[in-house]
Structure 1
């Protein structure tokens, strides 16, 4: 079954480019495309797509505010912020609002589709540039609060196998399942199985929560 996608972006050229990327892939189906958060607020609950690509800086209501309003009553919809910006404050504000992924618009079409696929499968994809900022923020917070660092004596982390720890570290760097599989010379399906068991052991639901555990939060 195709992964259903909606797009919210107020820049016509970018919105149309994203539409074309989705339409050209048989694995995805475009349900709707909107130029404002106000329009999306009304129509997304009706369409119920699997994934929404949400621009952060819309002309009226911001993408972050749109996600914040929609997520509580539409928990099944997965939001991925798609933006040209890398500001730390906006990254964490978007994740706090309910976004599950954060990717830059300059990401290649292939990696964008990989990220949508991973998001739909329970991951929390982020561009490598974004992931580095998230990791740096976690490390800084650890240093300030004198929290344990990665590989610490956290009891739950100790339940992970060496391979699971290896995958968790790569996840914390923002790598996609496909990239992790290539680096470790294993299949994507094997990566997914390790991630599933890892999430179970850590009692988390996504990459963001797992990375929190990795850095001792």
Structure 2
């Protein structure tokens, strides 16, 4: 528990380099609202630890012996849909970012990310938001603009029209999310209260089986050519 009585964010660290594990553990455990509850050195171990510990957030390395971080992310986010995964890698390589996001990760950051930003990323991901560097965001937009797809929305992208499940107002909110607007900006744009926007966002994520905003943006760009995605 924190000084305010709220539960700490429970974090599982996954990396095959002991120094990285120790460094991230020291960084996060020194924060009042974050607690490192376990460590793992392989994808297989990460899956077992996620099952046993049920962490809120997993910091996942990409390249490890045996099962890599992308496949481990896919399994963890499928089996434990409330667990958020933040992918960390040494190299800013597009295939890692695309693969991690497609597998269900909510964030993609370099291991060289400053400690303050890493802490804030954990908080942001835990709150249901997404963290993707601006270069990766631009490349994602370019990827979809050229007709690309990630094809991993638990089947929603293959349905005749997944947006049929949304109400007219939810369609408006979804369009705002795809445009990159925050909840407060959606309030201003659609003249809605914060509570109403939050309710609409949660319902959209539930109806479309989306983990967070970044996956809503991905789906929105995949459906860009359809009539009701503006």
TM-score between the two structures when normalised by the length of structure 2: 0.68
Regions of 4+ moved over 3 Å: 155-161, 167-171, 190-205, 212-216
The unaligned stretches of length 5 or more in structure 2 are: 1-6, 149-166, 185-192, 224-230
In structure 1, which of residues 90, 96, 108 is the aligned counterpart of residue 96 of structure 2?
Answer: 90
Rounded to whole Å, the distance in 2 between the matches of 1:160 and 1:50 is 30
Name the counterpart of 1:138: 144
Tell me if the contact between 2:178 and 2:221 (Cα under 8 Å) persists in the aligned partners. no
Rounded to whole Å, the distance in 2 between the matches of 1:83 and 1:59 is 14
Give the deviation of 1:85 after TM superposition.
2.4
Instruction: Establish whether residue 47 from structure 1 lines up as the match of residue 65 from structure 2.
Output: no
**Matched pairs, number:** 190
Tell me if the contact between 2:107 and 2:130 (Cα under 8 Å) persists in the aligned partners. yes
Instruction: Establish whether residue 73 from structure 1 lines up as the match of residue 117 from structure 2.
Output: no
SS class of match (2:50): helix
34 and 209 in structure 1: CA distance in 2 versus 1, 3 angstrom threshold: closer
SS class of match (1:141): coil
* 1:171-199 CA distance string (max 9 Å, x none): 6xxxxx7xx98xxxxxxxx9897566456
* 1:105-127 CA distance string (max 9 Å, x none): 12221221221111111112112
Q: RMSD of the alignment, in Å? A: 3.3
In structure 2, which of residues 5, 8, 12 is the aligned counterpart of residue 2 of structure 1?
Answer: 8
* 1:112-152 CA distance string (max 9 Å, x none): 1221111111112112232222222122227xxxxxxxxxx
Tell me if the contact between 1:53 and 1:82 (Cα under 8 Å) persists in the aligned partners. yes
TM-score between the two structures when normalised by the length of structure 1: 0.72
54 and 195 in structure 1: CA distance in 2 versus 1, 3 angstrom threshold: same
159 and 65 in structure 1: CA distance in 2 versus 1, 3 angstrom threshold: closer
The unaligned stretches of length 5 or more in structure 1 are: 143-154, 172-176, 182-189
